[in-house]
Structure 1
């Protein structure tokens, strides 16, 4: 019975997280226009490609590690992946600085936090935490839509850039929230010389 309940929670979370951006499409097409919407699609393609190079399927690596070794040292794998992501991300940011491309800078940052978020989702899914998984997805979709509407209503120019910034702010907000919750539930061991005397 638990598997049916969890499946229903996962399915509803997936549906809600996909419906919100779908409902945002008419608003985006009206605000951005044909040219702006095409430009946004162009940058979203870059975002997807950056996610591949920056993330290297860390969510898959976390899942494989979890199913092979269990929770033991999962935090080490997650932390190592985050260090890799930050290293490659910083190299990407330096490249954007050299190229003087502000929008690519936003895309690299957004991609970094998207990788962090996908790892957090993978952890929740592996540990069969259906409700937190769904909550993270739902929160991501809602904050993405909310930040998009706020940014596009506040500004009149460079709306494609504002949409990318809204995605970035949403990713940062939800990733930090998910990571704080993850760290609260993770036991960390520290070396203490007095315990070996």
Structure 2
């Protein structure tokens, strides 16, 4: 199966699997209300931070290792990564029991189970096992919807049950992936402490700059919810989060495009079929699409959002447009990020994200003094800065490659 066909199947599968939870949104916003919806967002925001700590960006290591070295010793990379993540998770869980913090305990469980499922998905993507990848994605999306409705209707409409439904779905999808979609990697040689040590060094050396990159992404993508919960009411956070979720249909497409394009672009760059100039041209062609989407979003009346989500989400429209623009810019940034990652320039990606995160922090602080409705512009400004810097770094790398 060729790369173009694989990429198209990936894209379709990603969109379908991610639209299933999106369709659930009107149900969740109504049964949980702005208060419960805001609490769920806090769980997931903290969970995203712990996913970074537990996974240590192993998914990026798996993709790059596969394209550079193939399947040889890939099993040791996976095994070493899992041991690291299990040790870290046990430490966090014990700590949560010692301090008797139920919120922390749920967050760690969510993060660890999300990591397990993510590795299974990334592994199949790296090896171009398209249909297994999509089947696992759909299994998770359907199960999380079923368990969410079941638990909420049987035991009450609480944020904890929504998070518990996600944890159960992660576990079920992970085990089904192992049982029905057997691991494509077989042990080629006996376990070796020396090889495992090398794999740990590979993870730490390659992923460390990306870890900072992910931390910056967390700051820009999730920290605002923690910040808002401290300065404003949980109900206002619920409205803000609902706007983010609605706008994230654009982000879902961007993420789907990113996962779809990563193996495709890696192969094309390797064969000298994709250059910085081609990426730049594609980026310019993408700008009119962003403008058209923004105009369409601006013309949607707020009444339509209230019909969809419920009358308690008044003021939601003010957040939608800046979020849509922010996520659209990430679509262009993804191209340059993949380009830099292929050449192993993770430090440059890290620098881009650090500068962007600093800009975000400054804007977040300043805009919060004016009003919550302006906070979404912090993401827009920081993503624009990120795009410009990463594009400039990609240009420099392309010049050096030619020389």
Q: Same fold (TM over 0.5)?
A: yes
Measure how far apart 1:82 and its partner are: 0.6
Tell me what 1:86 maps to.
86
Partner of 1:11: 11
Shift in Å at residue 183 of structure 1?
4.9
Give 1:178's aligned residue: 177
Q: How does 1:87-102 map to 2 (within 5 A)?
A: 87-102=87-102
Aligned match of 2:59: 59
Structure 2 distance, partners of 1:74, 1:132, is 19
- Quote how far apart the aligned CAs of 1:181 are: 4.7
**Partner residue of 1:42?**
42
**1:20-77, Cα deviation, whole Å (9 max, x unpaired):** 1111111111111110101111111011111111111111111121112110111111
Q: Do structure 1's residue 23 and structure 2's residue 15 form an aligned pair? A: no
Residues 58 and 115 in structure 1, CA contact (< 8 A), matched pair in contact too: no
> Could you tell me how far apart the structure 1 residues matched to 2:177 and 2:146 are?
18
Task: Report if the CA contact (8 A) 2:63-2:126 is conserved.
Answer: yes
Q: Could you tell me how far 1:132 is from its partner in structure 2?
A: 0.7
What do you get for the CA RMSD once the two structures are aligned? 1.7
**Larger CA deviation: 58-67 vs 172-181:** 172-181
Aligned residue pairs, count: 190
Bigger radius of gyration: 2
CA distance in 2, matches of 1:99, 1:26: 36
Q: Which whole-Å CA distance do the structure 1 matches of 2:170 and 2:37 have between them?
A: 21
Structure 1 equivalent of residue 108 of structure 2: 108
SS at structure 2 position matched to 1:128: coil
Partner residue of 2:311?
Answer: none
Q: How far off its partner does 1:184 sit?
A: 5.4
Contact 2:73–2:188 (Cα < 8 Å) also in 1: no
Q: How does 1:74-153 map to 2 (within 5 A)?
A: 74-153=74-153
Contact 2:74–2:185 (Cα < 8 Å) also in 1: no
Q: After superposition, where does 1:152-163 map in structure 2 within 5 Å? A: 152-156=152-156, 159-163=158-162
Q: Distance in 1 between matches of 2:18 and 2:8?
A: 15
Secondary structure at the aligned position of 1:67 is classed as helix
Query: Which residue pairs with 2:268 in the alignment?
Result: none
User: 3-state SS of the aligned residue for 2:24?
Assistant: helix
1:165 and 2:164 correspond: yes
- Aligned equivalents of 2:64 and 2:16: distance in 1? 27
Cα gap change, 1:182 to 1:135, in 2 (>3 Å):
closer
Q: Distance in 2 between matches of 1:77 and 1:44?
A: 28
SS in 1 for 2:72: coil
Aligned to 2:156, the other structure's residue is in SS state: coil
In structure 1, the partner of 2:256 is: none
Q: Bigger shift: 169-178 or 102-111? A: 102-111
Contact 2:71 2:185 in 1 (8 A): no
Q: Whose RCO is larger (CA < 8 A, sep 6+)?
A: 1
Aligned mates of 2:179, 2:185 — CA distance in 1: 10
Cα drift, residue 103 of structure 1: 2.9
TM-score relative to the length of structure 2? 0.45
The list of structure 1 runs, each at least 4 consecutive aligned residues, that deviate by more than 6 angstroms after superposition, is: none
Q: Where does the alignment leave 5 or more consecutive residues of structure 2 unmatched?
A: 191-403
Give the secondary structure class of the aligned counterpart of 1:71: coil
